[in-house]
Amino acid sequence: MSEAVIAGTVVFVLASFVGFEVIAKVPPTLHTPLMSGANAISGITIVGAITAASLGSGTTASILGLLAIITATINVVGGFMVTDRMLEMFKRKPSPRSAQDEAGEA
Amino acid sequence: MIELSYLAAAVLFIVGLKRLGHPKTARSGNGLAALGMLWAVVVTLIDLGTVSWGIVIVGVVIGAVVGAVLARRVQMTSMPELVAAFNGFGGSASAFVALAETLRADPSTLSVETGITTVFSVVVGSLTLSGSFIAYGKLQGLIAGRPIGFAGTNAINLLVALTTLGVGVWATLAGTMLPYWILAGLGLALGVLAVLPIGGADMPVVISLLNSASGLAASSAGFVIGNSALIIGGALVGAAGLILSVLMSDAMNRSLANVLFSKFGGGDASGPSGDAASVKRATVEDVAIALGYADNVVVVPGYGMAVAQAQHALRDVAQSLEARGVSVTYAIHPVAGRMPGHMNVLLAEADVPYEQLLDLEESNPRFSQTDVVIVVGANDVVNPSARNDAGSPIYGMPILDVDNARTVVVIKRSLSPGFAGIDNPLFYQDNTMMLFADAKVALEGLVRAVANV
């Protein structure tokens, strides 16, 4: 195996353990935001997409690069934004609004 | 230098995830992770020097607009679908990256290791794409939520999996592009075949697993292009998704393999087997009286609440009860809904303070001292058969022991069994009142009726 692959494997295994340790005790209340935030992090592939689009030559490679950038950006931007939207709701203090105030909204 | 810059991004991801684990710091954690992402993109652009700005700008603008619109417009009840869709996009991006890189590098020059990681990212990435969109279709009701399958499904899946393995070996040895394209197709087929036979109620496990898969796809794409940011970010997500998948299948007392391959709940929805005559039908007024004179009430929400968009009406009922001095808490089963934490998000949207939400372990000892339990659109997670009928398919699954409460109110559209096609003895108990109605309509009626008690 090449040194790069070995180094990559070391990084991968250690990062997985860090992931397990960091996430193992998250309370159920936060499971959905955690998942959608983690999901946004998996959009890190956007970095690869930009690299592939810039280094590639030929129409097929450019199309693949463009598709990769679009889908990765949807993942990143949408993922972080929707997580923030959810967490904003979690943070909000229970309002003393009465039931009637919200009848129109429901 | 670029490696150190990526390390900084990775640290931001890890600190961000850590902070996402506590209610008070979660929002800043998400912000830190987003900052790490922005940092990684900026240093990549600087490091590349020559960037195809046209492609990058067009791609980022389209992606950002689509992502932002989806994130702002989505109803909280549709959150599982959206997370599934985002998983799919992320997975496909990793497959595209691996394919583009292989095209660029010329497949005949690839080392065996690079070949293997490319095969892996193409297959896992496309599997994540198709699997996520099948899950999306099931959650949206575009595809039947029940398990879809036929005799020999597992044999066909095995055949496709073995073919994929064979083509993968071909790809790493042949040094041509053709097998990689075939692998993308096989990956798409595997995703469809794997998710179609899984029932709607198992979606929390499926979505967590697809989340994990999108991370692994990103990580292996990192190996392909030699980028440590992808390897680390992907590994973190892979671990997060796997933990949640295991938590969810534990909550159903089943193994991951059982969820994936058993076509659980495949039975045709048979009619209720219990004696319908012993069911106590209640009116909204009956329930209002029971609630209004209770000291404490526990609410058990389920997927039916999400479908009926009843979380605001539920909160209104709780507030009118609290105004009368009734203590109200919520008991949340880990697999209630269609994704981990689904109910918590909906109740948070309705301004229910998270301190009032109790998990399975906290809730169960309290039911024997509970005056009234309201079950809103939940079924299998409160089915006592799981505890005392060794012949039941859900036997052994940890449930909320609501049958121990003095009175149980079940708000449900009909007596039809849940996804597993299993009848629920709870409905026929002497202390159970059945309120047959749409959850939202029933709860809105309850708000008015409680005011008149």
Residue B168's CB is within 10 A of a number of other CB atoms, namely 22
Burial label for B244, CB within 10 Å (0-12, 13-18, 19+), is buried
B81 found inside a domain: no
A75 found inside a domain: yes
> Which of B162-171, B278-287, B392-401 reaches the highest mean pLDDT?
B162-171
Nearest to B97 among A2, A32, A48 (CB): A48
- Same domain for B232 and B104: yes
Task: Please give the residue range of the domain that contains residue A83.
Answer: 3-90
Question: How far is it, in rounded angstroms, from Cα B325 to Cα B340?
Answer: 32
Question: How far is it, in rounded angstroms, from Cα B102 to Cα B353?
Answer: 51
Percent of chain B predicted with pLDDT > 70: 95
pLDDT the model gives residue B421: 63
B389 in catalytic set: no
Q: Which two tokens stand for residue B312?
A: 């605001």
- Same domain for B406 and B358: yes
CA distance B316 to chain A (A): 5
A74 found inside a domain: yes
Nearest to B354 among A31, A34, A90 (CB): A90
**Pairwise CB contact (< 8 Å): A67 & B240:** no
**Pairwise CB contact (< 8 Å): B96 & A64:** yes
Nearest to A16 among B10, B56, B238 (CB): B238
From the candidates B47, B106, B359, B380, give the one annotated as an active-site residue: B380
A58 found inside a domain: yes
B125 and B98 in contact (C-beta within 8 Å)? yes
A80 found inside a domain: yes
- Same domain for B104 and B250: yes
B236-260: pLDDT as tens digits = 999 999 999 998 888 888 888 888 8
B427 and B415 in contact (C-beta within 8 Å)? yes
pLDDT at B103 over 80: yes
Query: Of residues B173 and A104, which shows the higher confidence score?
Result: B173
**Pairwise CB contact (< 8 Å): A39 & B237:** yes
- Same domain for B133 and B233: yes
Query: Of residues A12 and A99, which shows the higher confidence score?
Result: A12
Q: Which two tokens stand for residue B250?
A: 């534990």
- Same domain for B255 and B181: yes
A95 found inside a domain: no
- Same domain for B424 and B377: yes
Question: How far is it, in rounded angstroms, from Cα B316 to Cα B296?
Answer: 16
Percent of chain B predicted with pLDDT > 90: 61
CATH for B319:
3.40.50.1220
B50-74: pLDDT as tens digits = 888 889 999 999 999 999 999 999 9
The last residue of a domain, from among B212, B231, B261: B261
Please tell me if residue A12 touches chain B, with a CB cutoff of 8 Å. Answer: yes
Please tell me if residue B63 touches chain A, with a CB cutoff of 8 Å. Answer: yes
B137 found inside a domain: yes
Cβ-based contacts of B303 with chain A (< 8 Å): none
Closest CA to B297 of B208, B358, B378, B360: B358
**Pairwise CB contact (< 8 Å): B20 & A26:** yes
- What does the mean pLDDT of chain B come to? 89
pLDDT the model gives residue B420: 58
B431 and B425 in contact (C-beta within 8 Å)? no
Number of CB pairs, chain A paired with chain B, less than 8 A apart: 400
Cβ-based contacts of B232 with chain A (< 8 Å): 11-12, 15
B79 found inside a domain: no
- Which A positions 24-83 lie with beta carbon below 8 A of chain B? 24-58, 60-62, 64-83
**CA atoms lying within 13 Å on the CB side of residue B237:** 37
**CA-based nearest residue in chain A for residue B80:** A32
* B292: CB partners within 8 A, 6+ apart: B321, B324, B326, B450, B453
A45 found inside a domain: yes
Query: Domain count of chain A?
Result: 1
B209 found inside a domain: yes
Q: Which two tokens stand for residue B371?
A: 């005056």
pLDDT at B268 over 80: no
- Same domain for B161 and B21: no
Task: Please give the residue range of the domain that contains residue B223.
Answer: 88-261
- Same domain for B95 and B27: no
**Pairwise CB contact (< 8 Å): B37 & A84:** no
A32 and B211 in contact (C-beta within 8 Å)? no
A102 found inside a domain: no
Query: Domain count of chain B?
Result: 3
The last residue of a domain, from among B261, B287, B321: B261
B195-211: pLDDT as tens digits = 988 887 788 899 999 99
State whether ipTM is beyond 0.85.
yes
A98 found inside a domain: no
- Same domain for B396 and B361: yes
- Same domain for B255 and B287: no
- Same domain for B401 and B354: yes
Listing DSSP states for A3-46 in one string gives: HHHHHHHHHHHHHHHHHHHHHTT--GGGHHHHHHHHHHHGGGHH
- Same domain for B195 and B282: no
B434-450: pLDDT as tens digits = 999 999 999 999 999 99
Across B29-43, average pLDDT:
96
